[in-house]
Structure 1
Amino acid sequence: MASPPRKVAKKWYKQSFKEEWLHEKDFKEWLQEDSKEKGVSYCACCKTQIKNANRSMLMAHCKTAKHLNNMKEAKAATKIDSFIKKQIPRESDEVAKAELLISAYIAEHNVPFAHADHLVEVCKRAFHDSSIAKNVKLHATKASYLIQEGIAYHEKWEIVDQCRNEKFSLIIDESTDISVSQVLAVVVRYFDVEKNDVCDSLLDSIVIEDGSASGLCKAVKTTLNDKKIPISNIIGFGSDNCSTMMGNKSGFQTLLKEDIPSVFVMGCVCHSFALCASHAVKMLPSYLESFLKNITFYFSRSSKRNRDFTLIQEVTKTETHKIPKLAQTRWLSRGNVIKIILEQWDALLLYFQSESKEDILDGANNIYQTFKNRGTKHMLLFLNYVFTVPALASTRNSNSNRSGLNDAIWIRVLNNKTTINSTILLHHCSTLG
């Protein structure tokens, strides 16, 4: 005779606390989540945990004699709302939070304040079933106020507290904005213990009337004094290399050292490299800069020329890169232009060969003749290497046998103490190209 089938034990599932229970009529007066143990139900009236409680267990608890008696005593003594901590946030608080989040998004992504109305309207249409989205009211004026007087104010005073209690470096730069007002940006660099990282933060933007070194120094000191930041907390100073900032006699750094003799001063590295590069290229023929300008200008304002050049690139099987624009203010910007010209050399040579026969006014023939000059490519290969030296500095230890000119020659060129003869130049250009 076959034995009866064994009953399979019903699997028991652990039930965690659900916030939706807080809205139910039977539970809202006494139920809350335990503050000490997350996910556990807690009876504020009986002051006891109800572990792994599902809805039926909560219903059973609220019908027990102990719970009913405690509820009766609590209602007799005082309103039950006075001893139970409400965990349901008010909708108005959630709406305010949403408005702050949208304002923070506008500030973080540099969105114009005028777009706030449209952004809110999109959110309302996207989340039409949300009562919070329906009640959000955020126009340009309110968004500007929340960012400037709310978020920015709070963040600024957090930075001020860091500078009051920690050492920091000062980085400043002066410029003229669209309203033709002189503005001094004051940035501080400090170590944030909580983030365990070095942070750069904008401390203030000061509108100044006197752009001299003494005027800038006075403005910075006034700002630090107003915020009660000790000037003795400054351990470093950084800026560009203009005489107003870095002058040895009456520059900002000289005036700062009168108050803090031990301050470490460093000029802008990018500006220093630009000055070194512009000085170094004086050793090379002057026609090279005109050559670069003529090529970039030739393609800058003509869609037809760009289309024709694209066809040449396809014929020569060259990658379709556009010739970048040439920035006039920094010599280091030539590095990217030189790199692209060398990559596109065959395509450019073929293009200007055909253009030189048709285009006389825009100097296509002069560009073509410079391309044909044997020394042009050698000089560009040399410059291409020179412009990549700073990037290679970090890999010096791992790649000590790299090809090309060594650092000693590079340093002598920058200091204008040597002339590279054609034999050395041609040898190294052949190894590079």
Structure 2
Amino acid sequence: MSRNARHYRAAWEAEAQFSGWLMCAEGDPTKAFCKLCKCLLQAHKKDLSNHAKCKKHLEAFKYSQVSFNNTKLTKFFGVNIPEDRKLAELKMAAFIAEHGSILTVDHLGNLLPSLDKSSALLSGIKLHRTKSSGLISNVISPCMLEDLIQDIGDKSYSMIIDESTSVDTKKTLCIMVRYFSEKKMKIVTTFYRLLEIEAGDAETLTNTFKNQLPLDGLNINNLIGIGVDGANVMVGEHHSFSSILREDVPHLITIKCVSHSLHLAAENACKILPRHLEYIVRECHNWFSYSSKRQIEYSLLYETIAGKKPLKIDKLSGTRWLARISAITKILEQWDALQLHFQLAKDKERCYTSGQLDLMLSNHAKGKLAIPDRRIKISSDHAKGKLAIADRQIKISADHAKGKSAIADRRIKNFVRPREGEVGDSRLRHKNFIRLREGQVDDSRPTNKNSGVLPGRNPSRNKKVHMDGYSDNRVYSGPDHIHQNNWRVGHVSTTYFTFDEI
């Protein structure tokens, strides 16, 4: 740049001959720029005055005046859209956005005028994908957001936040808001925003969230709580979304998602179940999912037995463990029909899967899989690894290092454990258990009910045992010798007791 070069002066823009079209060139203070002619000029006032009088500039200035006076498309084209038609098209666009696919608008826009050709309203509707998308994005969405912000006002509110990746590999931050609506006079939970983010780390999530609230007119100090999943990036102790946000909002309350917590508890609890139970649920679905012939054969068999069509067995979900209850319930309802079907399929198709399923379905697996009340109740003490499904629910101790599980014939209250100081012998305990069932134990009550120890060394064979008097809920479950006698499982109980060697 020359030392004697003249610089552009902003004061020139206020003069009448330069007003509206003159500006400084971007990145070069020695140049001026004409908005009408789209050209660079020397920052000399005389050169600028000569440019203002040239033919090219005068024609461009005249054209700009005509365009300025006809900025509205309705005035330029002479189109006047009735208000009732505008309202109808907006309602249709809102309906499609909530209930349908945008691809159906083309067909719907052609269908409506043909319903009543005498109707001026229906005949005048012109709505297709491009126009519908524009109405949703540029008219309906801003209006709904404005109404939402006004309804929230200066009141306290909470946010429910989750980060995910869409099918086109774009990371998004979905935000829902929960507040008390004075219009509806109740607590409302509704969609707030779906923000695109560059990364899924805590710093990016926090900055995106904090920057968006002031742009929409929400006071971050009115934020009283957030609901998030249990991911470390959201609720970690150090440098997580909640910990960084708490620096600006010290009173912030963070609530973990209960569904995610139950999901993790159920996932870990299911690890102690026998693996063949999962095999039954998974392969029962796979057996029918790819063969229409098998579905038809099983449907006819089930209709013969139950008098109705069978429900389709759901596929096991790899990420949602609580959804497995649906598949398990349907298998239990169709147990007898499935057992008969695989007995026939084993001989007919002679394949490994049908043979294994027939063996498992006939081997009293129903007692382990049964959840009669159709619900999984997860103990609040899942920190100790317990899954409670009791009184028609199965209570399984997560302390599987001892390798014990409670399985009983109708109502099992009697599993044996050694007393303190004695070495446990599984064969001896099994022997005592059999003798107890046959009534070979004295029915006198123990001197110490809490100990659960049966007195007497030579009991009479004719006396029966009153089981209810020897309960001790603190006793762990015994060994799985119940399978040796092929006892049928009819009920599961969580009460156990012990007795001395006979």
Change (3 A) 1:362 1:262: farther
Cα offset for 1:282?
2.0
Q: Pairwise mapping of residues 230-309 of structure 1 onto structure 2 (< 5 A)?
A: 230-309=219-298
Distance 1:318 1:272 in 2: 40
How many equivalent pairs are there? 327
Change (3 A) 1:136 1:212: same
Tell me if 1:107 matches 2:107. Answer: no
Counterpart of 1:346 in structure 2 is 336
Cα offset for 1:141?
1.2
Tell me if 1:404 matches 2:392. Answer: yes
Distance 2:100 2:329 in 1: 33
Higher helix fraction: Structure 1 or Structure 2?
1
Counterpart of 2:188 in structure 1 is 199
What is the TM-score when the length of structure 1 is the normalising length?
0.69
**2:490 aligned to which of 405, 408, 430:** 430
Change (3 A) 1:210 1:416: farther
**1:159 aligned to which of 121, 129, 148:** 148
Cα offset for 1:96?
1.0
Distance 1:243 1:234 in 2: 21
Answer yes or no: is the 8 Å Cα contact 2:152–2:181 preserved in 1. no
**2:118 aligned to which of 129, 153, 167:** 129
One-letter code aligned to 2:171: Q
- Cα deviations by residue, 1:39-66 (Å, 9 ceiling, x for unpaired): xxxxxxxxxxxxxxxxxxxxxxxxxxxx
Q: What is the percentage of aligned positions where both structures have the same residue? A: 30
**1:217 aligned to which of 206, 210, 229:** 206
Answer yes or no: is the 8 Å Cα contact 1:381–1:432 preserved in 2. no
Answer yes or no: is the 8 Å Cα contact 1:378–1:425 preserved in 2. no
Cα offset for 1:308?
0.6
Is 147-156 or 324-333 further displaced after alignment? Answer: 324-333
Question: Structure 1 unaligned runs (5+)?
Answer: 1-89, 391-401
Is 148-157 or 286-295 further displaced after alignment? Answer: 286-295
Distance 1:151 1:92 in 2: 18
Answer yes or no: is the 8 Å Cα contact 1:159–1:201 preserved in 2. no
Distance 2:339 2:351 in 1: 18
RMSD: 2.8
Cα offset for 1:420?
4.3
Change (3 A) 1:251 1:318: farther
**1:329 aligned to which of 307, 319, 324:** 319
Cα offset for 1:257?
2.1
Counterpart of 1:22 in structure 2 is none
Distance 1:195 1:330 in 2: 35
**1:142 aligned to which of 125, 128, 131:** 131
Answer yes or no: is the 8 Å Cα contact 1:168–1:235 preserved in 2. yes
Is 320-329 or 416-425 further displaced after alignment? Answer: 416-425
Q: Secondary structure in 1 aligned to 2:82?
A: helix
Change (3 A) 1:266 1:424: farther
What is the TM-score when the length of structure 2 is the normalising length?
0.60
Change (3 A) 1:385 1:286: farther
Answer yes or no: is the 8 Å Cα contact 1:160–1:203 preserved in 2. no
Distance 2:352 2:175 in 1: 46
One-letter code aligned to 2:326: N
Distance 1:325 1:241 in 2: 25
Cα offset for 1:91?
7.3
Change (3 A) 1:416 1:181: farther
Tell me if 1:96 matches 2:86. Answer: yes
Q: Secondary structure in 2 aligned to 1:211?
A: coil
